[in-house]
Amino acid sequence: MRPLIDADLLQNQSYIGGSFVGEPRLAVTNPSTGELLAQVPDVGSAGAEEAVDAAATALPGWAGTTAKNRSALLRRWFDLIVGSRTDLATVLTSEQGKPFAEALGEIDYAASYVEFYAEEAKRISGEVLAAHRADARIMVLRQPVGVVAAITPWNFPAAMVTRKVAPALAAGCTVVLKPAPETPLTALALAELARRAGLPAGVLNVVTGDAIAIGQVLTTHRDIRLVGFTGSTEVGKILMRQAAGTVKKVALELGGNAPFIVFEDADIEAAVEGAIVSKFRNMGQTCVCTNRIYVHDSVHDAFVARLTDRMRSLQVGDGFAEGVMQGPLVNEAAVQKVEAHIADAVQKGAAVKLGGRRHPRGGTFFEPTVLTGVTGEMTLAREETFGPLAPVFRFIDEDEVIVAANATDTGLAAYFYSQNAARLFRVMERLQYGMVGVNTGMISTELAPFGGIKESGNSREGSQYGINEFLDMKYVCVGGVGSAS
Ligand code: ADP
């Protein structure tokens, strides 16, 4: 791995109760080169229980300290993350593969959640409501839910961590984080920075190892009150089921199947740029990535020509190489899924306009691909490809395309391009999605509530709404007060 400016950021042990512990033995490799980067421990269910105990022990002190104090510690963590952005991005690109410029962008994005919730910590408040009796008062308190489990994926090894951990800590919760086995090193580096920021022992714990054993503890332990998860819909359902036994809150951010609609009155050039941004970030491996592109018949050919042209310039290669825009996919299974979607579409009549194959570099590199003549019967219309495949559907009518766009069990992000003001409102209101990008392909920011409906999840992360997940509401009825005169 490229040397870090601050070598101590490369931690290869789990972080429990304020100490780095465990015997490193699970390999973490670079998906671009196959290089062994480090080994991390498998703490198993015993380690997970220790981490929950540490978080439960730390909870009263952390929940009991002032919001100002929590805010100051989060702000210090933010400053340290920003100060180490180059090293953090180096770790991230090494274990995840995304281009270094994108990794730097992710670190800044990850840091922005810590900054935002450092500020938001001080704005948690309750209410006094109109009472039902003259001698009573109704108060509403908002208090931390307790110990939070956070389970995060490999596609955003930093941002998915801070998006859960920062609001949880701001609310006064303590956390046990289980990062993805592919990308634990970024999470451990963030934990090291949290330690240096002065976060008390046990407030944030990071456990690495077998997902099923650790997940079992995190979803059934009595001391965990909320399970926050970002990942596949399939695993989200398993965790929800497991958490039902102790009626935990579950905050789920699951898969998507984003439509991207280009109407005849769209700015085509802007729409192509938006499609590139939303389709090819992280090699197409984000849950808000465009999965289906619908283009009006009258602008279809012009759009496809321009899209294909732009995609030719997407340089594929190692994330650290100059000018590279597309790194490797996460693993061989990811490549096989892209191949299967292309083969199924071609067999059902689609045409390959660009790419369509593994990249000559080998490994898990794949050529940016454009398919035309795509229809709703093809697998890629129903399933998230999670790779660099841009399938183009042709449509004629607004009603028809909205029905097609909504014909999925998921409802995370949708995008559309149009310059017609009346249509903007009609379409944004009819799309059954938690987030809609209108004339933009880039919607993620810590300032907005990120989340889905239907099988895409049940929570919101970011903005002033994101902290609500981590706060319980308590109603207090105070009687015998007398009446105000
Ligand atoms: P992906 O397909 O993107 O890898 P997953 O949903 O499989 O998404 O994984 C997301 C996160 O969930 C990872 O941290 C992974 O280790 C974890 N995970 C997977 N299966 C389980 C499980 N049964 N219990 C707990 N965590 C799990």
Q: How many angstroms separate the alpha carbon of residue 342 from the centre of ligand 1?
A: 25
Evaluate whether 326 touches 283 at the Cβ level (below 8 Å). Answer: yes
| Residue 253 falls in the annotated catalytic set | yes
- For strand 351-354 and strand 290-296, is the pairing parallel, antiparallel, or unpaired? unpaired
Catalytically annotated residue among 287, 289, 384, 461 = 287
Pocket test for ligand 1, best of 235, 252, 253, 386 (most atoms within 8 A of CB): 235
Catalytically annotated residue among 182, 192, 253, 398 = 253
DSSP, collapsed to helix, strand or coil, labels residue 427 as: helix
Indicate if the pLDDT at residue 209 is higher than 70. Answer: yes
Q: Residue 166 corresponds to which tokens in the numbers above?
A: 């920062």
Q: How confident is the model at residue 484 (pLDDT cuts 50, 70, 90)?
A: confident
pLDDT in tens, 353-368: 999 999 999 999 999 9
Q: How far apart are CA 466 and CA 171, in angstroms?
A: 10
Pocket lining for ligand 1, CB < 6 angstroms: 151-154, 178, 180-181, 211-212, 215, 231-232, 235, 238-239
**Phi first, then psi: what are they for 407, rounded to 5°?**
-80, 65
pLDDT of residue 160: 98
Report the candidate in 115, 109, 5, 135 with the shortest Cα–Cα distance to residue 71.
115
| Residue 95 falls in the annotated catalytic set | no
Report the candidate in 405, 401, 411 with the shortest Cα–Cα distance to residue 433.
411
Q: Residue range 49-53: average pLDDT?
A: 98
pLDDT of residue 485: 67
**Phi first, then psi: what are they for 362, rounded to 5°?**
80, -155
Q: How many angstroms separate the alpha carbon of residue 85 from the centre of ligand 1?
A: 26
Torsion of CA 217, 223, 226, 227, to 10 degrees: -10
Nearest CA to ligand 1 atom 3: 231
Q: How many angstroms separate the alpha carbon of residue 98 from the centre of ligand 1?
A: 20
pLDDT over 90 for what percent of the chain?
Answer: 99
Q: How many angstroms separate the alpha carbon of residue 39 from the centre of ligand 1?
A: 19
Q: How many angstroms separate the alpha carbon of residue 211 from the centre of ligand 1?
A: 7
One-letter identity of residue 97: G
Q: How many angstroms separate the alpha carbon of residue 227 from the centre of ligand 1?
A: 13
DSSP, collapsed to helix, strand or coil, labels residue 78 as: helix
Evaluate whether 282 touches 102 at the Cβ level (below 8 Å). Answer: yes
Indicate if the pLDDT at residue 47 is higher than 90. Answer: yes
Q: How far apart are CA 432 and CA 147, in angstroms?
A: 33
Q: Residue range 100-109: average pLDDT?
A: 98
Nearest CA to ligand 1 atom 25: 215
Report the predicted TM-score, pTM, of the whole model to 2 decimal places: 0.98
Q: Residue range 111-124: average pLDDT?
A: 98
Q: Residue range 464-484: average pLDDT?
A: 95
Nearest CA to ligand 1 atom 13: 180
Q: How confident is the model at residue 291 (pLDDT cuts 50, 70, 90)?
A: very high
Sign of the four-CA dihedral 171, 173, 174, 175:
negative
Looking at the DSSP bridge assignments, the partners of residue 477 are: 138
Q: How far apart are CA 259 and CA 376, in angstroms?
A: 12
Mean pLDDT computed over every residue of the chain: 97
Q: How far apart are CA 451 and CA 318, in angstroms?
A: 31
Nearest CA to ligand 1 atom 2: 232
Nearest CA to ligand 1 atom 27: 211
Residues 6+ apart with CB under 8 A from 212: none
Atom of ligand 1 minimally distant from the CA of 152: 14
Evaluate whether 374 touches 355 at the Cβ level (below 8 Å). Answer: no
Exposed/middle/buried for 263, CB within 10 Å: 0-12, 13-18, 19+? Answer: buried
Indicate if the pLDDT at residue 483 is higher than 90. Answer: no
In the sheet where 249-253 sits, what is the strand order?
19-21, 14-16, 204-206, 174-178, 147-151, 224-230, 249-253
Residue 473: its H or E element: strand 471-478
Evaluate whether 77 touches 193 at the Cβ level (below 8 Å). Answer: yes
Q: Residue range 199-203: average pLDDT?
A: 98
Report the candidate in 62, 52, 76 with the shortest Cα–Cα distance to residue 177.
52
